[in-house]
């Protein structure tokens, strides 16, 4: 079995910065975030070594999360995802046991 040498890792990476949600909402709305999500709870920006934004991640109180990735040429992609929460009583209602019939005497 031969091993292939991995490429050396680029130095620098992205710098994570906590951003003010109110300042970022216009940009997120322009990218396609729905008005019904309301204002974000937390917004994080990721900047490259030259100070250009490369990624913006916003978390909303409704459970939705928007992830905007910005390329060097200015084009961007956006991904929306939501966190599903299952209530504990609904989980308990699901059972593998067959229903039990009662016989009246």
77 in a structural domain? yes
Question: SS3 of 90, please?
Answer: helix
Taking the alpha carbons at both ends of the chain, their separation in whole angstroms is 74
∠ CA(73), CA(32), CA(36), 5° rounding?
160
Which domain does 28 fall in, by range? 15-84
74 in a structural domain? yes
Q: Specify the DSSP class assigned to residue 41.
A: S
**pLDDT given at position 16:** 94
| pLDDT surpasses 80 at 1 | no
66 in a structural domain? yes
Give 40-83 pLDDT, tens digit per residue. Answer: 999 999 999 999 999 999 999 988 999 999 999 989 999 999 87
| pLDDT surpasses 90 at 35 | no
39 in a structural domain? yes
Mean pLDDT throughout 2-26? Answer: 76
Mean pLDDT throughout 19-41? Answer: 89
36 in a structural domain? yes
Closest CA to 57 of 47, 69, 49: 69
The 10 Å Cβ neighbour count of residue 39 is 13
| pLDDT surpasses 70 at 3 | no
Identify the CATH number of the domain in which residue 69 sits.
3.10.450.350
∠ CA(30), CA(65), CA(14), 5° rounding?
80
Are 24 and 39 contacting, i.e. CB atoms less than 8 angstroms apart? no
Q: How many domains does the chain have?
A: 1
73 in a structural domain? yes
28 in a structural domain? yes
**pLDDT given at position 62:** 86
89 in a structural domain? no
């Amino acid at each position: 079995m031969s091993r292939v040498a991995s490429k050396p890792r680029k130095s620098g990476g992205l710098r994570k910065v906590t951003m003010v949600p109110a300042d970022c909402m216009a940009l997120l709305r322009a990218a396609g975030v729905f008005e019904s999500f309301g204002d974000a709870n937390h917004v994080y920006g990721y900047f490259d070594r030259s100070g250009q934004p490369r990624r913006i991640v916003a978390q909303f109180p409704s459970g939705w999360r928007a992830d905007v990735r910005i390329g060097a040429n200015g084009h961007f992609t956006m991904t929306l995802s939501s966190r599903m929460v299952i209530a504990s009583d609904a989980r308990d209602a699901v059972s593998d046991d067959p229903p039990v019939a009662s016989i009246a005497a």
